[in-house]
Amino acid sequence: MGALDSAQGRRQAARVALSLVVPVYNEADTVGLFVEKVAQVLGSEEQIELEMVFVNDGSNDDTLARLMDLQALDSRLLVIDLSRNFGKEAALTAGIDEARGDVVVPIDVDLQDPPELVLQMLAKWREGYEVVLARRIDRNSDTWAKRVSASWFYRMHNRMASPKIPENAGDFRLMDRCVVEALKTMPESCRFMKGLFAWVGFRTTQVEYFRQKRVAGTTKFNGWKLWNFALEGITGFSTDPLRVWTYVGMTVSLVSVLFAIFIGVKVLVAGVDVPGYASLMVAVSFLGGLQLMGIGVIGEYLGRTYIESKRRPVYFVRRIYEAKD
């Protein structure tokens, strides 16, 4: 009861410590706009003790220098400079590990995730929820290809994997400190944060919003990266792609037996028939393709096992910059 009373006390307190976790990679044009917007929306709220945790994920432009300039003007910025580009999932992990707030909100720097929504999330959190998802009402800001691929990914993932991940809900969410501490105990190297967020559970609700276009800069994701991201999510939380090859093999074997019976009956009725070269090549190519696909799926899981067995850290921090008092 002591821990429960403590959590309820934090929710009902006049002020709440809020940490925004913001991964950035080559976002020199957007970080200033983001800080200005957040300061306008959340900085003046008396009940919020604001912290902005920026994770510089190996940017090779002026992002870090721009963050240093902003930190000199606003002491609420904490800047984590990673030793190289580790990817967004690792950068999110680094920010969550260093965030000190009672509640933590991962958010994109391009302002497609509106800071205004954080106030609604906090209201839900004060009602007793430990996770508040931000769910997109539509995906009109995305291209047609991205909308279709995202829809198929959610269907495939939620059909095969457990737990299911909420459809059209990204990394933008509010998490109570107890959720953050649970995430920090999960050591895997191959990280699919949406899956990890769903796996830890806790009492969850959602708020809905329309996602806007980027205020500046360009997206760092392309079709190839999104494809690999989807594979990471499915193979990280489901063994169905391995199991399905058992049934594929059984089906092919059954078809082969039936075909053999058909050939035997045909020989008895119509005499010996010399099989054609084309049909033989089709059969060999088909079976060879199935075998290679099966080996590829096994390779995906074996690769994940190999990476995890090394127990390498998810990221390395070059330096953490805190504002001088």
pLDDT tens per residue, range 85-114: 888 888 888 999 888 888 999 998 888 888
Kindly give, in sequence order, each residue whose CB lies less than 8 Å from that of residue 103, ignoring residues fewer than 6 positions away: 16, 17, 18, 19, 122, 125, 174, 175, 176, 177
For the beta carbon of residue 173, count every other beta carbon within 10 angstroms.
24
Position 285 scores a pLDDT of 63
User: What percent of the chain clears pLDDT 70, i.e. is strictly above it?
Assistant: 64
Residues 6+ away with beta carbon under 8 Å from 58: 25, 82, 83, 84, 85, 86
2-238+313-322: in CATH 3.40.50.620: no
- Cis amide linkage into residue 106, ω under 30° from 0: no
Report the predicted TM-score, pTM, of the whole model to 2 decimal places: 0.69
Q: What is the DSSP string of 270-317?
A: H---PPPHHHHHHHHHHHHHHHHHHHHHHHHHHHHHHHHHHT--S--E
Does position 35 have pLDDT exceeding 50, yes or no?
Answer: yes
Cα–Cα distance for residue pair 311/189, rounded to 1 Å: 7
DSSP result, 42-106: TTT-TTEEEEEEEEE-S-SSSHHHHHHHHHHH-TTEEEEEESS---HHHHHHHHHHH--SSEEEE
Q: What is the pLDDT of residue 112?
A: 84
Q: Which two tokens stand for residue 103?
A: 């509640």
Cα–Cα distance, 138 to 205 (Å, whole number)? 18
Question: Which CA distances in Å does 92 have to 20, 184, 314, 318?
Answer: 11, 11, 10, 16
Q: pLDDT tens for residues 283-318? A: 666 677 677 777 777 777 777 777 777 777 888 889
Q: Is 107 exposed, middle or buried (0-12, 13-18, 19+ CB in 10 A)?
A: buried
Cα 9 from Cα 6, distance rounded (Å) = 5
The residue extents of the domains of the chain are 2-238+313-322, 240-310
Give me the pLDDT at residue 88, please. 85
Residue 265 half-sphere exposure toward CB, CA atoms < 13 A = 6
Residue whose token pair is 């806790």: 202
Residue 177 token pair: 């400190």
Q: Is the predicted pLDDT of residue 142 greater than 50, yes or no?
A: yes
